[in-house]
A = this chain, B = another copy of it.
C-alpha cells in the first residue's frame, strides 16, 4: 500500500471519530479499518476474528454499539440470527440513521452488500398500520458469484 493512501485512511478515520465526539483509540481505529478496507458488511464474528487476538470480546461489542449509537454503522437483519454491520453514509451522523437502501445477501459467497442505489420501495399498509421504517433484504447470487 502506498504511504499516501494509508495516511489518508488514517486521517479519514480520525476525522470520523472526532466528528462524532469519540476519542481515538486503537480498537476503534482497527474496527473502522476493517469496514473501510472492504465492500460488504461484517458480522460480529468476522470482526472478532479479523481484529485478531488484539482486543477483548467485550471491547468489540461495546465499540460496535457505540458506532451504531453514533450513526457510524448500521445493522442489517438476517434470517440466520447473525446481525451484520455496515458503514453508514455521512447523513447518518449525530445518532440518527437515514439509510434508505436495501441489502443483498449472496448465498454463494455469503457476503452482504448495501445496495446504496436501490431505494426501499413504498409499502402500502392495511388501514390502521403506520410505517416508521422499512427494511428490505434480498437473497440471491451476487455479481461476483455468477
Give the B-binding residues of A (Cβ under 8 A).
Answer: 75, 77-79, 81-83, 102, 104, 107, 115, 117-118, 121, 123-144, 146
Contacts and interface: CB of A to CB of B under 8 A. Distances in A.
A25 to B, nearest CB: 26
Given A81-B83, A125-B104, A132 B136 contact: no
A18 B19 CA distance: 61
A129 to B, nearest CB: 6
B132 A140 contact: yes
A107 B132 contact: yes
Contacts of A143: 126-129
A44 to B, nearest CB: 10
Contacts of A135: 79, 136-139
